[in-house]
Structure 1
Amino acid sequence: MPAFDDVAWRLRASLVAVVALLSVAASVAIWLAVSHLAERIARVSDEDHQRASTRATAEAMSSLQHQREAALAGTARMLQPAASDEERAQRFTVLASSLGTVFSASFLIDALGQPLARADEHGVQLMPAIGAMDDRTYFQEVMRTRKPALSQPIAGRNTGRVSIVMAQPVMDGQRVVAVVAGVLRLDSGDIGRMAVGRLPGAVRVVTDDQGQILSHDGGLALQRLPLSRESRFAEAFEAWRAQGSPRSTEGFVTVAGGQVVAAVPVSETPWLIWQARPVSGLQGALDDELERTLQWTIGAVLLAGSLGCAWIAWRLRPLGRLVRRVQRLTAPMADAQPGVGWPGGAGELGQLSSLLRLLATEQDGLAHAHAEIQTRLRAVLAAAPVGVAFVREGVVELASAECCRLFGNDAPQMLGRAAHELFEEPDGFQRFQQAARGAAALGVPYGGDWRLRRSDGLGFWANLRSRPVDWDDLSLGEIWTVADVTEQKLVRQRLEWQSRHDPLTGAANRMFFDQRIARVLGNRELFSPAVLIFIDLDHFKPINDTAGHLAGDEVLKLVVQAIAAQSRSGDLVVRLGGDEFALLLEQCSGMAALAVAQRIRAAVQEIVVPWEDQVLRVGASIGVAELTPDIRTAQDWVAAADAACYAAKTSGRNQVQMSPPRVVLR
């Protein structure tokens, strides 16, 4: 049987002359028609272009608003750890520069509406004289709802400049302790500064949902006036109101007042983008010309087609049957008998028919096998309790329903995503690839916990496992399985902390203390000089006996706070039991440790706890023991510090003693 390419070539050779002649005639006619049709399409599509342009501007403005919200939220989080309004104001002066990239000005006010700090083009000012803000609607809304608020246009008390304020609460638990806000000035063009999507000759306006102009391409003269006062938009605005002021994301488009006008809302704001562009005046002439062009084109094509079709019909009569059979094969409905109904005969068409019948039969078998595999694969992916993805050359090519859910995408969004976007850290995917390839080189799958990122930017802990599709050819891709283990991670961290700390005071417990001492003794060169301080409270037992254990617990917590306040952040504060405490100082000399011990003794002595009709006080007897070469074990070191503490106790209490006793500080 001749090859398909050979048969097809001989068939094409017999048709080329006619096809060439018809192509030339039809191409000329079609080119003339299309050139005129293109001009009309350009006119008719003005509305679609206007809608798309305005929507692009609205999406860009929405994106900028999200950046502003994120900047305020990030600043509020950075202000949360502050213990006082003064500390928050100082922190704000450092953070204000980042807000300056998206706001004309920013300020911080306390929970009573009093200004703490302000930043604008003149710099940063603490306690600015701008008056109390407690009467501002946006401040009252934030305090009531504990959520961000967006103000209506308001005039500044000192400058008189009209602005819109975005306010964000600063939380301490469930309590609003301050409000951080960014200022968008209308006269600075902060609202309508987007340059994307503008069509030539178009005028763009930003309004609120009542039609008040917030920004206008023409400048400040029309700001804060109703849109009905702008002649290019007046009729369109009334039509928009007559339809119920729709805020569909698809947008509102109309032709009114000689303008094509589109309006699209800015998501999550009360604002709308309006854009107007003059209507083309060539519609009538274009229709006349189009009609004449179509008449000429139709006549030419009909004449050439009639001549060509008559000759082709005579020359290729058997081809009609073959074409109809091929159409059955390619129809949307499956061909139940792909090997039946093909025309026979000799010659080129008979040979071509035989080839097509053979190909159709083979294709049908492959299609059935492929469909069965696809059905099984979809069932497996849909039922998989963990996320499953196929990744090749750093791109996700297949993902299960659970995988899409974990990353916050639907299936079309997930397919084609770059794998490095799924990792929270910039170099996360690179490090994961190195680990997975190292495991593959050993012939084993890889698995580990990684920080991944959802499409909304939120991170989560996941157990991510990978194995190659083909161990001998890693370029064929990998199969990933993903399981969210964020909750397990948090529980594990909480249990680890609880196992190493005293539940009453939050200080380290004896187990953690023993581990840290063992670490120091195991690597003296790294941690020396090192000092161990033992602290035994004086007169604590009478507090428990007279005021009760609740009072005693309060005193113990204050003692731990006093010890921590006189220590470095890396020093280990330990509750050994009862009223006995320890402090482990690494990289600290004996003389420096004596000074620390003296400060702790003084701080404990200053603790005063009013309790019912009593005033509770305690003292501290403190022993200090350096890590010397003769100390071999943890027991030796603890015994030395304990002996020094006992010496301080028996020498009159409220003292600091060195081991061996050398200095007594009172």
Structure 2
Amino acid sequence: MQRLKAPLEGARRALGTLRARLTLAGIALLALVVLLNTLTLVQRAEQDTLVEQRDRELVKAERIAEVLSGRVLELQGALAAVAGQLDQRTLHDQAALERFMTDRIVLRRMFGNVNVATADGTLRVYGEHSSLRKVVANVADRAYFRQAMDKAQPSISEALVSRVLDEPVIVLAQPLQGSRGPFGMLSGSIRLGSGGLMAQVLQYRGAGEADALLVVTDERGRILAHPDIGRALQHISTEPRLAQAWDDWVRMGRPLEPAGVSAQQEGELVSVAAVSGPQWLVWRAMPQQRLLAPLHDARRLAITWAVLMIVAASAALLGLVSWLLRPLQALQRRAQHLFDPAFDPHAGWPAATGEIARLAQALRHAGAERAQMDAFNTELLRRLEGVMAAAPVGIAFTRDNRIELANAELCALLGREAGTLAGQPLSALGLRQDGVLALLRRATRAFQAGQPYSDEMELRLAHGGTFWAQLRVQPSRGDEAAPGLIWCVLDVTAQRTAREHLRWSAHHDPLTGLANRAALEQQLEHVFAARPRSMPAMLVAMDLDHFKPINDSAGHAAGDAMLKAVAAAINGCVRVGDLVARLGGDEFVLLLQRCPPERALLIAQAVCAAVAAIELPWEGRTLRVSASAGVAELQADMFEVAHWLKAADRACYDAKGAGRGHARAALVS
């Protein structure tokens, strides 16, 4: 025990020396800086990688949605072309009908199966890729059949189980048009299992993306396509890699964005893009861990190199400190004889520089201590000015409402030359003259509460412009402003602009600039809750007539241009204060507050007339649409907003049934 005590005591004395303390402090600081810098750079690289990959995933989901939309349009076009060649006489001649369908082998190969049905829903012929056969079945109870026959327009079914194939399919239906209306239906089924259109979508995974998950669902979340075909018709919430993303998409208001949106899912990058037309959703999930694996390896390698650098730098630092502190040892020996009369008080002091030289001078000239203190304070102020000059934010020190010190960054923010703020009043910080005292009162209350004062305000530039700044003020000592104030100024104009843009985007349709569904529902709830003070209030549901042929024949760009023109026409007819919203597709809703029914009907008719008057030049042709509108009044006995919307929708359908292109008021029941 005694043998260990002596070495331990020697080690304790060695570690207590200035040389050891400086060395250990330098090593600790060096290690902290190197490790923090390494970890910060790697973490920033991870964040940048995820942001960049999220954008790529959105583009991939959007492209798949575009391909799927184009494929559906191609299939609908093929059905329409064949339906135009099938007349009523052929439909009722079984032999002729079978010959007709036998010759349409291309159409049969495009679908899982092709069916021809009469107006009562009876299947006359059933065709697959290589053969025709007769089946006994009736599809009159199917929603897609009723929609195609009642509206005399193509329809797409939701996912259902085929009565013939006994497997999940989606049916595209095309009415057979006669002079008196539809006399039958031509339909094709898309199998959701192997070999179908949905299975083809799953092939759109890039090289090296074996762990990427691609799923297609309808709006309600039912799975239409999945790598595991057994999941067809299950809900997407049963897929662990997309369950949280589904909940997040629902919280976002179920956006049907062809350009795609990002949804939150732990451990995954999830992108959701809407398929225009059938309103399906393409879900694409990519594991974050796979994306970040190279960066994690790089982080381990960087930390290893950082440790090696720290060890090497520590050894060099120890040697440098030992060499620099040699004069200190000589000073220590001379200081032991400081009061020895045998020694000349001005002789024997080591020649040194820096702190050691200043210490030797202090011992020789005790009377010069104050002068040395002044020199030290001057050096400290110079270093402080260096720190302020390097700071990325504007910094100023004020006393008695005057600026005593301001860094170059603050001068640059205010559009002034460096060094021109010193001696100026507080208003030179860009504050309004009449607002300086009010700001100081607010700051004083914050100081008394033990808090710095922070606010976001608009500051004036020297040349006359303005910018938004985050202003932080705190006393230089304690909670009193008398000793002086420290001001920190940060330009937040870009952040504020971004917040305003996000706030606007949350309640507006990006294509037309009109209010979106969320804004409409919020205003409807407000009007509904304020009854009877909010009455009379009218709701106008409007749907464009013959809009789909524009998309089909001229393209979606033409459709978007027409929607913008329709939005402008509607805005030109409504009153100031009326709310115009686009729900999606070609559906619009007008909320007319403090408007009697007669006036609302006139406005709706004016809107229909304005839409009908649109003539949109497009690639050598003129595009036109019309609009049908339904007007519904808010009633005191309505139980919920949905009843009001339903009344307006019903009136709109009545207007369409009565010939389209005009407005009709809802019947009061």
Same fold (TM over 0.5): no
TM-score scaled by length of structure 2: 0.42
